[in-house]
Copies of this chain bind each other. A is one copy, B any other.
Amino acid sequence: MEQIDAHKCFGGWQRRYTHESKVCDCTMTFAVFLPPQAEQGPVPAVYYLSGLTCTDENFVNKAGAQRVAAELGLALIAPDTSPRGHNLPGEDDSYDFGSAAGFYVNATQPPWAGKYNMYDYVVEELPALIKSEFAATVSDKASIMGHSMGGHGALVIGLRNADRYASVSAFSPIVAPGQVPWGHKALGGYLGDDRAAWRDYDATALVEDGKRFPGPAPLIDQGLDDGFLEEQLRPELLEDAAKAAGIEVSVRHQPGYDHSYFFIATFMEDHLRHHGKALLG
């Protein structure tokens, strides 16, 4: 692991690293914010999964999360959104598939299989790296959040690993990739045509199949002027599945807000306090 950037920020440190990823078979980049409390010993972490076209940097630069994380004593861990540099055919041709669009799955279809394993990267490899490299500053306790494609990732990863995360939240998430065009393209491309395999990466299907969120009802903020709302995001599908399953999800519909980081920044404090309560009591 190599540190490639570091800035003091709100009394803590915003750092950026590269390392060789086994599960993605390439060099990966991620960002860590360590709050000032980490100087006194390990603090819990909140993972943030970004959306289409993003790297680790969008969140770090635009979300304004460090202020609240520094107040509460939370580390922030932001992975990249896909493997990079494999030069696979078509890898860089679309904004919604291939590079910057890993969709937090383990791909089974050639040429993506063996490389596009962002699920294992986020759930296994990156936490193991954090555990070994940040033992003095970051504890085992973690929560997970994300935006859009990353909101999908956070919901799915939380549902499938309820023992590993204290809480889940999302901004304008894709809640049912099996039922929307972005998901059809991504899950079809990475997992193939057998839609049964898609259900493991579909928060709405996972709820239908009996999976449950860890911690408090997941907090979801959705802007009502989000141009992707009706065709790609469709939070009502998760709300309906949750209702049928008798579980709570807290979906807040925010008038006037769009899909941008201006929306995310506005409600970031609420999300971090949601996680802080679950992680710190």
Residues of chain A having any CB pair with chain B under 8 Å:
7-11, 14, 61-62, 64, 66-67, 223, 225, 256-258, 260-263, 265-266
Contacts and interface: CB of A to CB of B under 8 A. Distances in A.
Nearest to A11: B266
Contact of A260 (B7, B10, B67, B265): B7
Contacts of A61: 61-62, 261
- Copy total for this chain: 2
Contacts of A66: 262, 265
A10 B262 CA distance: 8
A7 B62 contact: no
- Chain B CB count within 10 A is highest, among A11, A62, A257, A266, for A266
Contacts of A64: 64, 67, 265
Given A14-B262, A265-B67, A8 B62 contact: no
Contacts of A8: 223, 225, 256-258, 262-263, 266
Contacts of A265: 9-10, 64, 66-67
Nearest to A60: B262
A47 to B, nearest CB: 20
Contact of A266 (B9, B257, B261, B262): B9
A106 to B, nearest CB: 33
Nearest to A223: B8
Nearest to A61: B62
Contacts of A258: 7-8
A266 to B, nearest CB: 5
Contact of A262 (B9, B62, B256, B263): B9
A212 to B, nearest CB: 33
A64 B257 CA distance: 17
A9 B62 CA distance: 12
A245 to B, nearest CB: 33
A11 B263 CA distance: 10
Contacts of A266: 8-11, 67
Contacts of A67: 64, 265-266
A69 to B, nearest CB: 12
